[in-house]
A and B are shown apart, each in its own frame.
Chain A
Amino acid sequence: GDSVTQMEGPVTLSEEAFLTINCTYTATGYPSLFWYVQYPGEGLQLLLKATKADDKGSNKGFEATYRKETTSFHLEKGSVQVSDSAVYFCALSDPGNQFYFGTGTSLTVIP
């Protein structure tokens, strides 16, 4: 079945460092891909999405490109801030509207 695999955490970075969180997927069809963010003590929020190959989703300085050839949707940010400390979830929605979350990657940014 369809699934999402994301890199294990936790990840600790210094402020202004470059961030990459890896996400790969397995799907039989043409899924849509998403990144969600969960700030401490809150519910999840949709961060960005891409609905077809080569699409780039972006929001709040974060970017991710839908790479069909490598079945990947890696999350990147050029310069992280302390306020980016959160748990990041990669997710997949298949054409049948089934939805799959990754296990989450915790990011801590230190000043």
Chain B
Amino acid sequence: NAGVTQTPKFRILKIGQSMTLQCTQDMNHNYMYWYRQDPGMGLKLIYYSVGAGITDKGEVPNGYNVSRSTTEDFPLRLELAAPSQTSVYFCASSYPGRAGEQYFGPGTRLTVT
């Protein structure tokens, strides 16, 4: 049981490049989330999903896209990377109705230069 896995662990992008951050969970959780954490700051919700085929915007969705074709996977796409997207990205999952008990992945540290 691996929990929530994220790839890659680290990535450096040039301005204007695109990439996909991968997130997979093996706990059969319906709910999945993407957060970003800027240095010394709390977490901000980017997007979330309550099940396959259903996604919704969080607090800071601009510059990102998501899809949820399976229960297990919830990739985050960055189009036209900007320095403001330099951050640590965390994926999390939870059971329905238990949004407070989230399981987090180890994070992806992204630098845009």
Contacts and interface: CB of A to CB of B under 8 A. Distances in A.
A17 B42 CA distance: 26
B41 A93 contact: no
B102 interface: yes
Contact of A99 (B4, B96, B100, B107): B100
* Closest 6 pairs between A and B when the two form their complex, measured CB to CB: A93-B100, A43-B104, A103-B42, A97-B99, A99-B99, A44-B104
A110 interface: no
Interface of A: 32-34, 42-46, 49, 89, 91-93, 97-99, 101-104
A49 B100 contact: yes
Contact of B99 (A45, A93, A102, A103): A93
Contacts of B96: 97
Most chain B CB atoms below 10 A, which of A33, A34, A98, A101:
A101
B5 to A, nearest CB: 11
Given A93-B99, A97-B96, A102-B42, 8 more contacts: A33-B100, A43-B4, A43-B107, A49-B101, A97-B97, A98-B99, A99-B45, A99-B102
B43 interface: yes
Interface string B90-104: 101000111111111
A85 B103 CA distance: 20
A91 B102 CA distance: 11
Contacts of B103: 46
B106 interface: yes
Most chain B CB atoms below 10 A, which of A49, A92, A98, A99:
A99
A43 B106 contact: yes
Nearest to B101: A46
Interface string B29-61: 000000000000111010000000000000000
Nearest to B97: A97
A34 B100 contact: yes
Contacts of A93: 98-100
A97 B4 CA distance: 20
Contacts of B4: 43
B97 A43 contact: no
A46 B100 CA distance: 9
